[in-house]
Amino acid sequence: MTNNKPVKIMETVLRDGHQSLAATRMRITDMIPMLEQLDGVGFHALEAWGGATFDSCLRFLDEDPWERLRTLKKYLKKTPIQMLLRGQNVLGYNHYADDVVREFVNRAVDNGVSNIRIFDALNDVRNLEVAMKASKAAGAHVQGAFVYTISPYHNQESFLKVAKDLVELGADSICIKDMSGLLAPYAAYDLVKALKAEISIPIQLHTHYTSGMASMTYLKAIEAGVDIVDCALSPFALGTSQPATEAIIATLEGTPRDTGIKKEELYPIADHFRAVKKQLAGDFNLNTAIDIDTKVLSFQIPGGMLSNLLNQMKEQGMADKYPELLEEMPRVRAELGYPPLVTPTSQITGSMAAFNVMLGRYKIIPREIKDLVRGKYGRTPAPIDPEFREMVVGNEPVITHRPADDIAPQMDSLRQELAEKGYPNASTEDVLSYAVFPDVALSFFSKHR
């Protein structure tokens, strides 16, 4: 390893760590006692907002996500706060108008976010353009992410093309987002080498331990020159989360890529979060001991999704059809143009496969499937067979332009709606909460506004 520069670490315990292992139930009160210590460690960034935390704050924790962000910023004076943003989907499951996306980014930055990682479920960069430009204009560090997956239509060349498009759009760094733990160690080495050869901005790697390969993947990526890796403190690491921060630090000690972080400083912080995990498991009746699931390597289905689908089959009294479901899933994914299985495409593909197995193939076709096939989410990685498309949507027009071009500005009408519902003086933050999760936000406002 001749690279003689320290590997930087983004710590995920405040977001993806508990999203992966504790159903995103960590409360701000669980975080506050350790924020100053975390701030002093020397992490590249602390991922603490976005993803599912926004929904979870409002829906389950009776917390205002914007208030959480302001509190985090009050304690984190040195280390940048990073968030995860789903491009034109913001933090929801549908596309929003450009004015909502811009306003959301502005409010996030004003309330304390420094780094914004932006991705699109289909790797359609047209869905990232507005969010990336708005983040740049707001003064944030813009991280363009591409979603890593495996299919006949995904290869090093296709990922490199998306990465170059992200650079064109003004990315300050690139993230390889491997949400299912599919990136194998030697493939990671080759991919990082290829990116480093053609792209001059920093490369960050995000993976999950789901398949059991993540630490090996990080080591090979580090050998290939990756700049930053996402890790979680040990109590919220492994399983379906990230590699353990302390272990990655220890691995690199005394090498040319030593992180420079003292693992001993993390032990008391980890002890605190170990107690938090135990408390969350009790308070919310959670199973936080999530095993790795090597099946993901064959089915390309994230582990959490497999257990959700099995539960759905059990509820319908069809658990015996689960093996059929595992075979149906890749078939449906191929028919839908090989979308990467990440929110929201994983849910859309999974429920379609479940319907097919329970009721017969395409006897029921949910609206979301029609939208995906019509191009309403963006361009699928593989073209969709015209005959299949006709069966699903008939002669409905196909969308070949950027989907959000069809969405008129929404901020004014959302303000108006909120006023009619009894909140005439709603802050911009509240309007945005309502935009992304209307019912959940209204129920929160009824108690707190």
* Lowest mean per-residue pLDDT among 22-31, 324-333, 356-365: 324-333
- The sign of the CA dihedral 389, 394, 397, 399 is negative
Q: Is 141 helix (H, G, I), strand (E, B) or coil?
A: strand
115 and 259 inside one domain? yes
As a dihedral over the C-alpha atoms of residue 368, residue 370, residue 373, residue 377, rounded to 10 degrees, the angle is -40
Threshold 0.85, pTM exceeds: yes
Q: Which residue from 37, 77, 59, 49 is spatially nearest to 447, judged by alpha carbons? A: 59
| Residues 6 or more apart whose Cβ sits within 8 Å of residue 391 | 362
1 pLDDT higher than 50: no
Concatenated DSSP letters for 215-245? HHHHHHHHHTT--EEEEB-GGG-STTSPPBH
- CATH number for position 341: 1.10.472.90
203 and 350 inside one domain? no
Last residue of a domain, one of 223, 251, 284: 284
Element holding 115 (H helix, E strand) = strand 115-118
In-domain check, residue 266: yes
81 and 219 inside one domain? yes
Q: Which residue from 82, 93, 91 is spatially nearest to 142, judged by alpha carbons? A: 82
Q: What pLDDT does 138 receive?
A: 98
In this structure, what token pair is assigned to residue 167?
A: 């650079």
Q: What pLDDT does 124 receive?
A: 97
- What average pLDDT score do residues 337-362 get? 91
217 and 353 inside one domain? no
Q: What pLDDT does 303 receive?
A: 60
| Residues 6 or more apart whose Cβ sits within 8 Å of residue 188 | 176, 205, 217, 218, 220, 221, 224
- What average pLDDT score do residues 21-37 get? 96
201 and 313 inside one domain? no
Q: What pLDDT does 302 receive?
A: 66
* Lowest mean per-residue pLDDT among 1-15, 149-163, 176-190: 1-15
- What average pLDDT score do residues 330-335 get? 95
Q: What pLDDT does 323 receive?
A: 86
- What average pLDDT score do residues 426-440 get? 98
In-domain check, residue 2: no
Q: What pLDDT does 75 receive?
A: 98
DSSP secondary structure code for residue 339 in this structure: -
Phi-psi region of 58 (alpha: psi -120 to 50; beta: other; left: phi over 0): alpha
Phi, psi of 85 (to 5 degrees): -125, 135
How far apart CA 437 and CA 64 sit, in angstroms, is 12
In-domain check, residue 293: no
* Residue length of the chain: 449
Q: What pLDDT does 2 receive?
A: 47
pLDDT in tens, 204-220: 999 999 999 999 999 99
Number of domains in the chain: 3
Q: Which residue from 73, 176, 174, 170 is spatially nearest to 131, judged by alpha carbons? A: 170
41 and 164 inside one domain? yes
73 and 185 inside one domain? yes
First and final C-alpha spacing in the chain = 57
182 and 129 inside one domain? yes
- CATH number for position 118: 3.20.20.70
125 and 164 inside one domain? yes
Q: What pLDDT does 313 receive?
A: 81
In-domain check, residue 294: no
pLDDT in tens, 99-113: 999 999 999 999 999
pLDDT in tens, 127-178: 999 999 999 999 999 999 999 999 999 999 999 999 999 999 999 999 999 9
In-domain check, residue 213: yes
53 and 127 inside one domain? yes
How far apart CA 123 and CA 116 sit, in angstroms, is 17
Domain that holds residue 420: 409-446
Task: Report, in this order, helix, strand and coil percent for the chain, each rounded to 5.
Answer: 55, 10, 35
Q: What pLDDT does 221 receive?
A: 98
263 pLDDT higher than 50: yes
Beta bridge partners of 431: none
How far apart CA 309 and CA 194 sit, in angstroms, is 36
Beta bridge partners of 68: none
Give CA separation, 376 vs 89, 112, 282, 403, 437, in Å.
12, 32, 41, 5, 20
Q: What percent of the chain has pLDDT over 70?
A: 98
Last residue of a domain, one of 284, 310, 333: 284
- What average pLDDT score do residues 64-90 get? 97
- What average pLDDT score do residues 50-76 get? 97
Q: Which residue from 179, 183, 204 is spatially nearest to 19, judged by alpha carbons? A: 179
126 and 14 inside one domain? yes
Residue with tokens 């009776």: 62
Q: Which residue from 165, 3, 90 is spatially nearest to 343, judged by alpha carbons? A: 90
185 and 134 inside one domain? yes
Last residue of a domain, one of 284, 311, 341: 284
Q: How far is CA 173 from the centre of its chain?
A: 16
Give the pairing of strands 115-118 and 45-50: unpaired
In-domain check, residue 375: yes
In-domain check, residue 328: yes
- What average pLDDT score do residues 333-357 get? 91
